[in-house]
């Protein structure tokens, strides 16, 4: 595809980009280098060496429509023709907000951001202002962005599990910020009640991924989200669903629609921009009106929700609200998951694949299906990296996440034939692992 090979681009990239990449996780450890993409279309992408892959990462969930979707392509052309006036709203912003208020159960008003990290950062500031309390209860194994408000206590190693709320997930996070984090295991209402009782009057917000995609896609146990809703009301605490990943993966209303539990506030994103950076904070009138210019909580930025992203968001929402979108997605998914479960059962490899809609996880080397992060501490990172590398050799791309039990998925552009190829590759690779 280019006269310069992937390996040569990697060496060249390392001289001007830390690690040769623009994002820490883009160096795929299962492959041994980043994959530099030359072109992406539909369910596939081609690297600079001309190798084609069926994409089972889909931009970590952002490319739910697949790559280079015609409606997104048209949105970008429209934006260029209109003239991209940054730092200004246009009628399209209002139209998209109106659509989302119809789609997302907890949404009466919307405030757009670009990345999911931005969304959770500003939403947490809002929650603290509304509650008047600084402490946040979060769950081990969940992820809420790379900022200091929540990048504490999410994925502690085994040796830090005696005090997970003290574990800072990156160098450069000040230790005093750990005082604002309280952790509890997912799917354990007793532990949540205990944490709320021990910090009564101090915790103002409970934040979680309603499906724990950032630890393999672990779903909530039956009654768990309902119990959490009751507990937060009992203790007068804001219930915050971080749906940056769960939004749109199974329905247009996100996990709150899927499970019938409505939070006080949520963040959505990842897929919302159809592959462009677009996220949103969604909540009730009274809460959202605490944002300036009508309230006292600051949220601003020159590049908040630029026109191309908003137009792409409109195109995305029109696509996922079409009558056939989710039934068609479910047909592909149901067949794939049925095949995957059979392959896993036949392989002899201790492997679990929790799933919700178009995304799923892989947990290797663990005998029992995990119900929380703590159950995945024996996950075999070495097997996961071998799996990723061997699949890539056969033309199927899974992202590695450093070998962690994270999430993978498909798009509306993936066909049953595509997924059958993936199943053949997965089956062959698991035979080599076993």
User: Per-residue pLDDT tens for 209-225?
Assistant: 999 999 999 999 999 99
Q: What is the pLDDT of residues 265-293, one digit of tens each?
A: 999 999 999 999 999 999 999 999 999 99
| CA gap 416, 77 in Å, rounded | 31
CA angle 278, 308, 73 (to 5 degrees): 105
**Confidence grade of residue 248 (pLDDT, cut at 50, 70, 90):** very high
In this prediction, residues 344-365 reach a mean pLDDT of 96
Is 60 exceeded by the pLDDT of residue 256?
yes
- Is the pLDDT at 384 greater than 80? The verdict is yes
Cβ atoms within 10 Å, residue 262: 16
The phi and psi torsions of 32 (rounded to 5 degrees) equal: 100, 0
Architecture of domain 70-320: 3-Layer(aba) Sandwich (3.40)
- CATH code of the domain made up of 6-68+323-433: 3.90.1150.10
Q: How far is CA 366 from CA 103, 151, 216, 345, in A?
A: 38, 26, 12, 14
DSSP strand pairing (238-243 vs 181-184)? unpaired
Name the β-bridge partners of 28.
Answer: 33
Model confidence at 1, pLDDT cuts 50, 70, 90, reads: low
- Rounded to whole angstroms, the Cα distance separating 402 from 226 reads 34
Could you check whether 6-68+323-433 and 70-320 share the same CATH topology? no
- In the chain, domain spans: 6-68+323-433, 70-320
- The rounded mean pLDDT for the chain is 97
Assess whether pLDDT exceeds 90 at residue 2: no
What does each C-alpha distance from 265 to 90, 102, 177, 184, 235 come to in angstroms? Answer: 25, 15, 23, 20, 16
Condensed to tens digits (0 to 9), the pLDDT of residues 115-153 reads 999 999 999 999 999 999 999 999 999 999 999 999 999
Q: What is the pLDDT of residues 191-205, one digit of tens each?
A: 999 999 999 999 999
User: What digits encode the pLDDT tens for the residues 33-58?
Assistant: 999 999 999 999 999 999 999 999 99
- The gap between the terminal CA atoms of the chain, to the nearest Å, is 36
How far apart (Å, rounded) are the C-alpha atoms in residues 15 and 36? 16
Cα angle for residues 411, 142, 340 (degrees, 5° grid): 40
pLDDT for the residue 3: 87
Alpha helices (H) in 241-324, listed in sequence order = 254-259, 285-288, 307-320
pLDDT at 328 over 60: yes
Summarised one tens digit per residue, pLDDT across range 58-95 is 999 999 999 999 999 999 999 999 998 889 999 999 99
The mean pLDDT of 241-266, rounded to a whole number, is: 98
Mean pLDDT calculated for residue range 20-34: 96
């Amino acid at each position: 595809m280019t006269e310069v090979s992937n390996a040569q681009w990697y060496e060249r990239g390392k001289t001007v980009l830390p690690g040769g990449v623009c994002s820490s996780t883009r160096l795929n450890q299962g492959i041994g280098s980043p994959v530099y993409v030359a072109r992406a279309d539909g369910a596939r992408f081609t690297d600079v060496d001309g190798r084609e892959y069926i994409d089972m990462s889909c931009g970590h969930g952002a490319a739910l429509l697949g790559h280079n979707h015609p409606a997104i392509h048209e949105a970008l052309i429209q934006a260029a023709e209109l003239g991209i006036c940054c730092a200004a709203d246009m009628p399209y912003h209002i139209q998209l907000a109106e659509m989302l208020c119809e789609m997302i159960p907890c949404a009466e008003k919307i405030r757009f951001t670009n990345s999911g990290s931005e969304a959770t950062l500003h939403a947490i500031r809002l929650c603290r202002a509304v509650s008047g309390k600084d402490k946040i209860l979060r769950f081990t194994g969940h992820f809420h962005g790379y900022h200091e408000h929540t990048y504490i206590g999410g994925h502690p190693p085994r040796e830090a599990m005696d005090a997970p709320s003290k574990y800072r997930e990156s160098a450069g996070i000040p230790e005093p910020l750990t005082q604002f984090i309280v952790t509890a295991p997912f799917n354990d209402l007793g532990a949540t009640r205990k944490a709320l009782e021990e910090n009564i009057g101090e915790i103002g917000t409970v934040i979680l991924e309603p499906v724990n995609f950032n630890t393999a896609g672990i779903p909530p146990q039956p009654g768990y989200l309902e119990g959490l809703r009751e507990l937060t009301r009992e203790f007068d605490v804001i219930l915050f669903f971080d749906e940056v990943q769960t939004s749109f993966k199974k329905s247009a209303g996100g996990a709150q629609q899927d499970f019938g539990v409505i939070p006080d506030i949520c963040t959505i994103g990842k897929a919302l921009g159809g592959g462009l950076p677009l996220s949103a904070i969604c909540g009730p009138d009274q809460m959202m009106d605490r944002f300036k210019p009508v309230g006292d909580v600051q949220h601003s930025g020159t590049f908040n929700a630029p026109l191309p992203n908003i137009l792409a968001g409109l195109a995305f929402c029109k696509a996922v609200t079409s009558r056939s979108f989710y039934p068609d997605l479910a047909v592909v998914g149901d067949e794939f998951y049925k095949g995957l479960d059979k392959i896993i059962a036949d392989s002899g490899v201790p492997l679990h694949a929790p799933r919700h809609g178009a995304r799923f996880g892989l947990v290797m080397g663990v005998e029992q299906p995990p119900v929380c992060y703590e159950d995945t501490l024996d996950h075999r990172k070495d097997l996961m990296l071998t799996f990723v590398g061997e699949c890539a050799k056969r033309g199927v791309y899974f992202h590695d996440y450093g070998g962690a039990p994270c999430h993978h998925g498909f798009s509306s552009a993936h066909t049953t034939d595509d997924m059958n190829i993936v199943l053949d590759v997965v089956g062959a690779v698991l035979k080599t692992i076993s």
